[in-house]
Structure 1
């Protein structure tokens, strides 16, 4: 047992996975960016449960990508991994990236790009779904942008608490370049970072595959998260299909639309319902296809307990610890990969006023509301 999780093995980054049937390294397609990481560590970071059926049972393979400070095992064990493994439509694997996603975001994206092409290959060419949390969304979008071969392998992309525009809260850990050292991935997630500007330039702010982005206005880690200013808001210039779901708007004044923290979105009943709809239908989640009246009357997804909610909420402390302990810490954002050196940057960060909100009360409110729901049921 580790931090209440089922097994320490779910966090393993030294997994033995077989060779794929087709060569995907050093590139699946000539248009793909070059990898800086060797194939062995890329492949060994993919955790494939022993009962994974490789798409032979009709279920969609689902790749779970964690956020800064976490492995996929610990991030998803008490929410999406549990729900998917009990479902009739999704079969999850997850990424345990060395450094717990604290290293440079472009390096984390290499793991995502490789995992997409690898899982699709070992599943006989079956398309995969990607569900990501926090920075995992940035790394996935970067992978889709700079490894074009991945796009044809992905049926849909479900984003939980994404920070596609970065977050103003990152300045708390990286206040000033050259003055205080910071964790590489946190530098990348500041709103004025070169990473964010490069990702969002030249169409990177728009979906490459059908995308469902779910986020909370009361997120204590990522801000802004409201309206069209939301960092998680995804555009749809390519018309592939996008659903943007701000929980407090979609489920206004209902239990599913009350306060959710950065981690809490992962056990949200509405987030799960939209993800289920997206994975089943191979496109963005649709409000019209789910029973909003029923779904929005619950805080947690069916199948999750109060323990699952509290364990998911506890991730915030462990993630912060990993971020603070990560070394080495550079004094400024590190240079981006050479493959983006010639890209013209046409994105300018927005200046948005963030409404004040009591962060601690958001977390406390979540737990109290979850407890009330358990008692009521």
Structure 2
């Protein structure tokens, strides 16, 4: 009887234990594949380009529509194929679920192109790829650059005040010191073979504090090559705030292009001499700027006001505990 029970336990263990391939790939994705596929939209010749495809990820409260009037036309003009991934619920829901969309996007775009994927993300969109890289190890060999524009890598003190009466799950998770961010930043912050550019502004009113390269957006540990760049260190009189850093800012865009077109992360020393005079990035039409910014602000305000609040941070997934 004892031998039979032992044999049964061994058999069950063999069935339930992950294979080496599963362990290398990370946990199974829980989001249905149809939903993951529907969230990914690509433009340009992803499969035939001589350049790495770019994956654009919007910040909390926003959707890929925000890139239609800035990074979309700018990258098209540069001849760079790009894809966007729509995070669920405008990025307001559990970021652990949003990360699965990013994992799927990295795998799909890399497979379609046969090349590394370069990621450009704003706010949460610059931070969530790090969760994907941390817990789904196979993605690390598929990513060349992670370029964060005002990324919430270490959260924000602003969210603590916002969440006192309850708030959206993603706001809870982006509070400074949250369980989510503690898990994300435990151990190495970066991975070998991936280049990290983190662009921040001291005038960031959302991701704060960001007064220097030890603020929320910056990274320092791990084996990835890292560049933490303050816009005011490049251009002392620069006035970019949180939203403009990721949507219209000419200096931020110049740093993005520098990272995309050179080995390693962005280097401010390589920027053109007139970089500080470029208030708007290419692709932004000044005639429609006010209208587009007003639409963006309306989307942000609507999500903040109407998205259902929860009383506490979502529990960490078992794989992250």
Give the alignment's TM-score, normalised by structure 2.
0.87
User: What SS is found at the alignment partner of 1:99?
Assistant: helix
The answer to whether structure 1 residue 244 and structure 2 residue 228 are counterparts is yes
Per the alignment, in what secondary structure is the counterpart of residue 227 of structure 1? coil
Q: Following TM superposition, by how much is the alpha carbon of 1:101 offset from its aligned partner in structure 2, in angstroms? A: 0.6
Residue aligning to 1:280: 261
| Cα displacement (A) at 1:55 | 3.7
- Of 190-199 and 301-310, the range deviating more from structure 2: 301-310
Match of 2:213 in 1: 228
User: Given the alignment, which residue of 131, 135, 145 partners 1:156?
Assistant: 145
The CA distance in 2 between the partners of 1:30 and 1:194, in whole Å, is 23
CA contact (8 A) 1:79 1:312 kept: no
Q: What does residue range 294-373 of structure 1 map to in structure 2 within 5 Å?
A: 294-307=274-287, 309-311=289-291, 313-314=293-294, 315-327=296-308, 329-341=309-321
Gap change, CA 1:263 and 1:312, over 3 Å in 2: farther
Q: Structure 1: which 5+ residue stretches go unaligned?
A: 1-26, 342-377
CA 223–307 in structure 1, closer or farther in 2 if over 3 Å, else same:
farther
Task: Name whichever of 58-67 and 298-307 sits farther off.
Answer: 298-307
1:102–1:183: 8 Å Cα contact kept in structure 2? yes
> What is the correspondence of 1:69-148 to structure 2 with a 5 Å cutoff?
69-72=61-64, 74-88=65-79, 90-123=80-113, 125-148=114-137
Sort the Cα spacing of 1:155 and 1:139 in 2 relative to 1 into closer, same or farther, 3 A. same
1:65 aligned to 57, 61, 76, which one? 57
Residue pair 1:269, 1:302 contacting (<8 A) in 2 also: yes
> Paired residue for 1:261?
241
Matched residue SS, 1:100: helix
Cα pair distance change 1:69/1:118, threshold 3 Å: same
Selected match of 1:30 from 20, 23, 42: 23
CA contact (8 A) 1:181 1:331 kept: yes
Pair 1:185–1:307, CA change in 2 (3 A): farther
Q: Is the 8 A contact 2:201 2:210 kept in 1?
A: yes
1:42 to 36, 40, 46: 36
Structure 2 contact 42–81 (Cα < 8 Å) conserved: no
CA contact (8 A) 2:150 2:201 kept: yes
Q: Higher Cα Rg: structure 1 or 2?
A: 2
Which structure 2 segments of 5+ residues have no match?
Answer: 1-19
Q: Does the 8 Å CA contact 2:60/2:90 hold for their aligned counterparts?
A: yes
Moved over 3 A (4+): 307-314
Q: CA RMSD in A?
A: 2.0
Cα contact 1:79–1:308 (8 A) shared by 2 = no
**Normalized per residue, which structure has more helix?**
2
In the TM superposition, residue 37 of structure 1 has moved relative to its aligned partner by: 1.1
Structure 1 residue 132: deviation in Å?
A: 0.4
1:82-125: CA deviations, max 9, x gaps? Answer: 2111113x2111012231111001111111111001100111x2
Alpha-carbon distance, 1:237 to partner? 3.1
Tell me, yes or no, if the aligned pair for 2:213 and 2:229 is still in contact at 8 Å: no
Alpha-carbon deviation of 1:43? 1.4
Deviations 1:335-359 (A, max 9, x none): 0111112xxxxxxxxxxxxxxxxxx
